[in-house]
């Protein structure tokens, strides 16, 4: 059986919320970051690099490395590890610098 850190601290979280990632529903517990929720849903990558189009996800997980950038509600370059998951948020994979509109 998989152990959950929630059991370890005997957490009693509020009911889960839902946001969308590339059009698919993702469940998150209140207080979780976007990165944590995506990770929990089995997704490890949510950005493609500017050079080489390579997959990227959470690396440091604490706001320092800027690897986990994602497009959140239309705004690119948001650090998924710091952004709280909010009900109904529209999260999308970020392509490159996320600023195609400036090209």
Partner 1 sequence: MVVIGAGMIGAACADALATRGMRVAVVDRGPVVGGTTGAGEGNLLVSDKAPGPELELAVESLRLWGELAGELGARALEYEPKGGLVVARDQRAFAELRASAELQRAAGVTAVDVPADGLREWEPHLAPGLAGGVHYPQDAQVQPALAAAALLRRARATGRVDLLTATAVTGLAKGRVETDAHGTLHCGAVVNAAGTWGGEVAALAGATLPVLPRRGFVLVTEPLPPLVRHKVYAADYVADVASGSADLQSSAVVEGTAAGPVLIGASRERVGFDRSLSAPVLARLAAQAAELFPVLRDVRVLRAYRGFRPYLPDHLPAIGPDPDRPWLLHACGHEGAGIGLAPATARLIAQLLDGEKPFMDPAAFGPGRFEKEES
| Residues near partner 1 (CB under 8 A) | 50, 66, 76-77, 97-100, 102-103
Residue with smaller CB distance to partner 1, 41 or 49: 49
Backbone conformation region of residue 10, classed left if phi is above 0, alpha if psi is from -120 to 50, else beta = left
Nearest approach, Cβ of residue 15 and partner 1 (Å): 33
Residue with smaller CB distance to partner 1, 26 or 58: 58
Distance (Å, whole) CA 43 – CA 47: 11
Residue with smaller CB distance to partner 1, 14 or 100: 100
> Rounded to the nearest 10 degrees, how much is the dihedral formed by the CA atoms of 6, 4, 70, 77?
50
């Amino acid at each position: 059986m998989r152990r959950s850190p929630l059991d370890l601290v005997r957490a009693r979280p509020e009911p889960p919320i839902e946001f969308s990632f590339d059009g698919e529903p993702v469940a998150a517990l209140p207080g979780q970051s976007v990165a944590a929720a995506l990770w929990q849903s089995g997704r490890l990558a949510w950005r493609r690099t500017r050079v080489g189009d390579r997959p990227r996800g959470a690396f440091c997980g604490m706001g320092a490395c800027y690897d986990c950038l994602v497009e959140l509600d239309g705004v690119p370059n948001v650090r998924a590890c710091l952004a709280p998951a909010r009900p109904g948020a529209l999260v999308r994979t970020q392509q490159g610098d996320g600023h195609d509109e400036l090209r």
